[in-house]
Amino acid sequence: MLTFAPRHDASESTTDQAHSGSEGAGRLDVRGIVHSTGGLGVAAALPFALAIIGLAIPLGWKESCTGVFGNWRHSINPALTRDSAFYRAVSGFDQAAANVATILYAAILVMIGIGAAFLIDRLLGRWIRSLAPAIAVGLTAAIAAVFFVNRQEWSLLPALLPLLLPIVIGVSAVQTWRSAALKFSPFALCLTAVFALGLLPKILLNVRWSQYGFVLAMPGTLLLVHLLIQTIPAWLQRNRGSGTTFRAIWVGVLTLCGLMQFLSWNRIDQMKTQTVGEGSDRFYADPHYDNRVLPTVRSLAYLRRVMTPDDTLCVIPEGATLNYLLRKRNPTGFLIFNPWEFDVHGGESRILGKIAQNAPKYIVFVGLDMTEHGRGNFGDEQFGKSIREYIDAEYKVVDASMQADPHGRPDFQAIVYQRRHSTD
């Protein structure tokens, strides 16, 4: 929230703060912490509780807890992810040195911005007290940022979160200890930073607003925005009688950052011209740069024509969206078939046993590039060979759709198999 308050008596504020600090120094007011941040703690725990309860209904409590909390175990134990090129790339450990340098570069950019805003606030703070000049300062800062920060650098802003959040936790924890009255809610800030940091291990060295970061980096991003337009300006107001100019500058810069992201994502969204699904299930996909779209649409249309209400469907190695769009049950119990999932669920032989025991009437094999997981493609010796042999023996091809690359070579294919003994 953008506010422009009149200047308070700095000496009076400082005296009150010192008096409050001397009374509360070294004493941790547990009751005050609970009273001030109990709601925040409940809000932070609620998503975990709902996820655990929701997953426990079909999977049981043990599998549910493993699914919710297992990512932290996998993220902090490199031995569990070293064979997966995909997860190494997502987490940023595939190019650790370069990604650490990006973190430092993003931190330097923000520190330069903070320093410049601080100096401008010191110079102009006494004259900028009303809304109109503050808006002018914000617009000027945004225009200046257009020339000093390129389009790619805007997307690097969340990269600094792994460095910033531990600092926020440490500083706010010390403030909590020193301020029994919790006048400025430092523990609420600390708890929010802990929650935000707890979401980052999966993308620790590669924090972006794309891919998993769209969700995992959101709390940390909101905390960063809060620091820049509320916490730091409030500190300047209490200690130096200014802060309005600092806030106006960062409101302008962050607004520009949001606009840059909107323009980038809007450009991507405009490329999505192919409809997938019908009615309330309908969404749009990019048929030109996403080679999965057209074969998937054709296979979806074919299955919609031939499947009966009681037919079952499994998509290998992944593609549960088809099950949803067709409202068809997957009887195998597995949504994804990749080396990672094989290891988690007891190996390929156990998964093959489940497929044979609960054989779906239709299987769709999609030709995804699975080499990013480090064991070749599905059907190779190291990964999925026995399952592919089972499909070839027990099922027959009834439909196939292929998307070629610019050179005419098969780039993506979707092959529909039907269980032989269901009709033969």
Question: In the 3-class helix/strand/coil scheme, how is 120-141 assigned residue by residue?
Answer: HHHHHCCCCCCHHHHHHHHHHH
Cα(363)–Cα(370) distance, rounded to whole angstroms? 18
Return the pLDDT at 332.
92
Return the pLDDT at 212.
78
Cα(92)–Cα(97) distance, rounded to whole angstroms? 9
- DSSP labels, 14-41: HHHHHHHHHHHTT---HHHHHHHHHHHH
CB 229 within 8 A of CB 114: no
Return the pLDDT at 413.
87
122 with 91, same domain: the answer is yes
Torsion angle in degrees (nearest 10) through CA of 107, 108, 111, 112: -150
Look up residue 56 and give its amino acid: A
- Share above pLDDT 90 across residues of the chain, in percent, rounded to a whole number: 44
255 with 342, same domain: the answer is no
Helix extents (H) in 345-416: 348-357, 385-394
349-402: per-residue pLDDT in tens? 999 999 999 999 999 999 887 877 778 888 888 889 999 999 999 999 999 987
User: What's the whole-number mean pLDDT along residues 37-44?
Assistant: 64
Mean pLDDT over each residue of the chain, to the nearest integer: 83
37 with 184, same domain: the answer is yes
SS3 278: coil
pLDDT band (50, 70, 90) for residue 285: very high
Q: With respect to residue 297, please indicate whether it lies within any of the assigned structural domains.
A: yes
Q: With respect to residue 63, please indicate whether it lies within any of the assigned structural domains.
A: yes
Q: Is the pLDDT of residue 167 over 90?
A: yes
Q: With respect to residue 5, please indicate whether it lies within any of the assigned structural domains.
A: no
* Domains: count for the chain: 2
pLDDT band (50, 70, 90) for residue 184: low
Q: CA geometry: angle at 91 spanning 145 and 212, to 5°?
A: 70
* Residue of 224 and 367 predicted with greater confidence: 224
User: What's the whole-number mean pLDDT along residues 135-149?
Assistant: 90
Cis amide linkage into residue 6, ω under 30° from 0: no
193 with 293, same domain: the answer is no
Q: With respect to residue 403, please indicate whether it lies within any of the assigned structural domains.
A: yes
Greatest mean pLDDT range, 178-182, 303-307, 337-341: 303-307
Last residue of a domain, one of 246, 269, 292: 269
215 with 283, same domain: the answer is no
Last residue of a domain, one of 269, 285, 304: 269
24 with 173, same domain: the answer is yes
312 with 171, same domain: the answer is no
Beta pairing, strands 410-419 & 395-404: antiparallel
Q: What is the pTM of this model?
A: 0.72
214 with 180, same domain: the answer is yes
User: What's the whole-number mean pLDDT along residues 142-146?
Assistant: 91
Q: With respect to residue 344, please indicate whether it lies within any of the assigned structural domains.
A: yes
249 with 286, same domain: the answer is no
Last residue of a domain, one of 218, 253, 269: 269
Of 133, 141, 136, 151, the C-alpha closest to 114 is 141
Who's near 257: CB < 8 A, 6+ residues apart? 154, 157
Instruction: Give the single-character DSSP code of 228.
Output: I
Return the pLDDT at 316.
94
118 with 177, same domain: the answer is yes
- Share above pLDDT 70 across residues of the chain, in percent, rounded to a whole number: 83
User: What's the whole-number mean pLDDT along residues 246-272?
Assistant: 92
Q: With respect to residue 2, please indicate whether it lies within any of the assigned structural domains.
A: no
User: What's the whole-number mean pLDDT along residues 177-193?
Assistant: 71
Q: Is the pLDDT of residue 18 over 70?
A: no
Q: With respect to residue 346, please indicate whether it lies within any of the assigned structural domains.
A: yes
- For the chain, the C-alpha Rg in angstroms (whole number) is 27
Domain assignment of residue 353, given as a range: 274-422
228 with 329, same domain: the answer is no
Q: With respect to residue 211, please indicate whether it lies within any of the assigned structural domains.
A: yes
Return the pLDDT at 38.
60
Greatest mean pLDDT range, 3-17, 37-51, 173-187, 233-247: 233-247
357 with 233, same domain: the answer is no
Q: Is the pLDDT of residue 291 over 60?
A: yes
Measured over the CA atoms of residue 248, residue 142, residue 111 and residue 204, the dihedral's sign is positive
